[in-house]
Amino acid sequence: MSYFSKLRFLVVQLRELVFWPLLFALSPLWLQRLIAQHVQKQSQLYSSEVKAMCANILHYLPSIDLASVSRELRLVLLIDKSDVFFSTFRLKHSLKHRIAIDRLPDVHSAALILSAHRGNGWWILPVLNHQGRPVHLVSAPLPAPVQLVDYLLRPYQLLRWHAMNTLGGVPIIPMKGASQKVRQLFVDRGRLIAVIDIPPVLAKGCSPVRFFNRTAYMPIQSIQLAFEAGVPVYFCNADFDLKTFKQHIDFERVDSDGGPQAVADRYAQWLEAHIRRRPGSWHAWGHVDDFFKKPNATVKTTGALTGKNPTP
DSSP string, the chain: --HHHHHHHHHHHHIIIIIHHHHHHTS-HHHHHHHHHHHHH-TTTTHHHHHHHHHHHHHH-TT--HHHHHHHHHHHHHHHHHHHHHHHH-HHHHHHHSEEEEE---TTS-EEEEE-SBS--TTHHHHHHTTTS--EEEEPPPPPP-SHHHHHHHHHHHHHHHHHHHTTSSPPEESTTHHHHHHHHHHTT-EEEEE----TTT-SSEEEEEETTEEEEEE-HHHHHHHHHT--EEEEEEEE-TTT--EEEEEEEPP-TT-HHHHHHHHHHHHHHHHHHSGGGBGGGGGGGGGGSPP-TTSPBP-----PPPP-
Q: Is residue 44 part of a domain?
A: yes
The reply to whether 308 falls in a domain is: no
With a cut of 90, say whether residue 312 has pLDDT above it.
Answer: no
Q: Is residue 59 part of a domain?
A: yes
Q: What average pLDDT does range 2-16 have in this prediction? A: 78
> How confident is the model over 31-45, as a mean pLDDT?
93
pLDDT at 296: 66
Is residue 272 situated within a structural domain? yes
Over the stretch 192-207, which tens digit does the pLDDT of each residue have?
Answer: 999 889 888 888 789 9
Choose the most confident range, by mean pLDDT, from 79-83, 196-200, 232-236, 293-297.
232-236
Tell me what pLDDT residue 238 has.
84
Contact between residue 239 and residue 120 where contact means Cβ atoms under 8 Å apart:
yes
11 located within any domain: yes
The pLDDT of residue 213: 94
φ, ψ of residue 252 in degrees (nearest 5) = -115, 120
Q: Span 132-160, mean pLDDT?
A: 85
Higher-scoring residue by pLDDT: 223, 311: 223
Report the percent of the chain where pLDDT is more than 70.
Answer: 90
**Diameter of the chain measured on Cα atoms:** 60
The three-point CA angle 287-8-49 to 5° equals 20
Asked whether residue 113 is assigned to any structural domain, the reply reads: yes
For the cut 90, the answer to whether the pLDDT of residue 146 exceeds it is no
Identify the pLDDT of residue 84: 83
Predicted confidence band of residue 120 (pLDDT cuts 50, 70, 90): low
pLDDT value at residue 308: 38
Q: Write the pLDDT tens digit of every residue in 231-281.
A: 999 999 888 787 888 888 889 999 888 899 999 999 999 999 999 999 999
Kindly report the average pLDDT of the chain as a whole number. Answer: 85
Q: Which range of residues forms the domain containing residue 234?
A: 3-292
Residue 275 maps to a domain:
yes
Task: Please answer whether residues 47 and 16 qualify as being in contact, where contact means their C-beta atoms are separated by less than 8 angstroms.
Answer: no
Mean pLDDT of 39-51: 93
Read off the pLDDT band of 90 (50, 70, 90).
low
Q: What is the mean pLDDT of residues 93-113?
A: 82
Total structural domains within the chain: 1
User: Which pLDDT score is estimated for 218?
Assistant: 94
Tell me if 229 is assigned to some domain.
Answer: yes
- Report the predicted TM-score, pTM, of the whole model to 2 decimal places: 0.86
Residue 92: the pLDDT is 62
Give the pLDDT mean for 71-96.
Answer: 80
